[in-house]
Structure formats: structure tokens, C-alpha cells
Amino acid sequence: MRKLILYMAILFLPSKLFAQSAETSFEFMLIGSSSRSAAMAEAFTAVGGDAGSPFYNPATLGLGKGTEFSFMHLSYLNDVTQEAFNLRAGPSGYRSGLGIYYGTTGDIERRADNPTDEPLGTFDEHNFTASYMWAIPVGDKITIGNAIKWAYQKIDIDDASALALDFGGTYSPNANITLGASFRNLGTKPKFIEQSFDLPREFRVGAAYEFRDQTSLSGLLTAADLVLPQWGDKEIKINLGGEYLYQNLVVIRSGYGAGYESKGFAAGAGIIYQNYFFDYAFTPAKHNLSDMHRFTLRVKL
């Protein structure tokens, strides 16, 4: 555990992460990459086992076995969509992953400085993120990981791009408990026209406990995260989630995120058939905003 703490302290420099800044942009980089994590209210910093896990902590690549890829589709507000592709591969020592995320918002109304009854027209927003991730073990209980990302956004005729890094670590004192921590979206500032913005940086720390042994076909996974964001209202967030697996056939998930302005409760389910996993997540929105629906197909090779 001391090795993990020392590694995090030297490389991540919290003073740099939490430096005060005016505004953030590129918040599409906070949209999760799997239905499983969304259904557990994104309490996923210490959870592995699927190709989308490293989105929250690249070190969780080391918690999964074999090669797996996944596709996720997210829709909300009728004209907002997000697609995600994730791949996890590599030998048991060095693990690597790939993430490609694309989103679009259509028919945004164009308005003049003076209020008008009818819009002057419409325009679209497009965003894209590509990431490469890796994780390696440090001894028998610690894994460290890193992700490098390139993100791009185009709003009407204006566009901007940025490079970002994620750093993370996990510590597993035994087969049932995993602790994790990560720093996300440390990088350059995207610049629209003449104004620069900070990326939506955040620090996450979490724990997960699995109530089953390796030979059981059923079991319960519980997880909790503490999130210190440098985006939105910058208030501390707490994520709690759980997952119950029955006979390696059906999965039921639920969670709650505290401190968020537009979301809280989350739920979902999954069906397993041989090496195929079909996951769904439902996230109801607060304040009459649109509910989110996520659909994911995962395949283990």
C-alpha cells in the first residue's frame, strides 16, 4: 500500500490538479462508456472486469482477464446521442486498452443577441475522444495505469482540441476487496476562438467488495466512490452502487449518486449468454430534464 501512495503522491501533484480556474469545457469527457457503470451510479473507480471499466481508472485494466470489446449507445433529449467502443487485451502482466467515443447534438437553435420569436436557424455539435490505456502490476497486490487521450469538439463552425492524461492505481489486499484511486483529464486547454477553457478534471477514490468466491455462479458486488470534481459546481460527489449476479445468467444493478444537480438514482440489468453480455442502464433526470438510456453489448474472446 505504501508503494501505491508514494506513486500517486509523486506523479499526480494534487496542487496542480486543484488549481483554481474560471470555467471548464469538454464536459462530454465525463460521459461514461458502459451501461454497467451507469447502472451502478458510476461507483467504478475500484471495479474491473469489463472493457469499459478503465474509463474511470486505467489501472482497472489489470482486474480483468482475457480479451473483450464492447459497444455502447446512449440517447437522451431526443437529439443527443453518444457512441462508445472499448477494447481490452494483452497478457496477464501488461494490459492495454483502447477507447473511442463519439457524440452529437442536433438541431440547436441559433439566436441573435436580441430575443426573437423564431430562431435564425439551427446548427449541430459534434465531439470525439480517442484514448489508449495501459496497466501493469507492481507486486502481487498493486496495479498502476495510465491513459492518454485526444479530444475534439466542433460547435457550429468553431472547433477546439486537447490532449489529456489519466493516472490511476488499485490495491487488492485479498480476492474480495479492491481499493482504487485516479486523476482524470489532466491536460491542455481547449481554445474556442480567443477563449481557453480548462478540461473537466477530477480526483476519484473508491472501494469495492465482492461477496462470492471464484467457483460460485452467483454473487453480490458493492462499490463506493468519492469524487472531487473541478467541473460544474465543484461540490464533492458520492457514488454508491451494487450488482447482483444470479447463476451467471442474469444481473441486476442499482446505485445512487449524491451531490449531482441533474441525477441521483440509477438502475439497470444484464443478460449473459456464453461469452455475450447485454447490458441496459436507466438514469432518471431531475428538474424535468431528459432521462438517459444506455445499451451495451460486450463480447469476450
- Cα 183 to its chain centre, rounded Å, is 12
Give the C-alpha separation, 256 to 264, whole Å: 5
Given this model, what pLDDT does residue 194 score? 84
Give the residue with greater pLDDT, 255 vs 77.
255
Per-residue DSSP letter, 5: H
DSSP 62-92: GG--S-EEEEEEEEETTTEEEEEEEEEE--S
Q: What is the mean pLDDT of residues 37-48?
A: 97
User: What cell does 44 get?
Assistant: 467504478
Contact between 164 and 153 (Cβ < 8 Å): no
Given this model, what pLDDT does residue 214 score? 66
Given this model, what pLDDT does residue 15 score? 34
User: What cell does 60 get?
Assistant: 482497472
User: In this structure, which topology does domain 2-13+21-300 adopt according to CATH?
Assistant: Porin (2.40.160)
- Whether residue 261 is predicted with pLDDT greater than 90 in this model: the reply is no
- In degrees rounded to 5, what are phi and psi of residue 14? -55, -30
Instruction: Report H helices in 13-158.
Output: 14-17, 35-39
Contact between 48 and 64 (Cβ < 8 Å): yes
Q: What is the mean pLDDT of residues 164-182?
A: 97
Q: Encode pLDDT of 200-213 as tens digits.
A: 999 999 999 999 86
176-188 in b/e form (b: 16+ CB < 10 A) is eebbbbbbbbbbe
Give the C-alpha separation, 179 to 199, whole Å: 26
pTM of this prediction exceeds 0.85: yes
- Whether residue 10 is predicted with pLDDT greater than 80 in this model: the reply is no
Mean pLDDT check: name the lowest of 11-25, 107-121, 157-171: 11-25
Cα three-residue angle 19-144-257, rounded to 5 degrees: 60
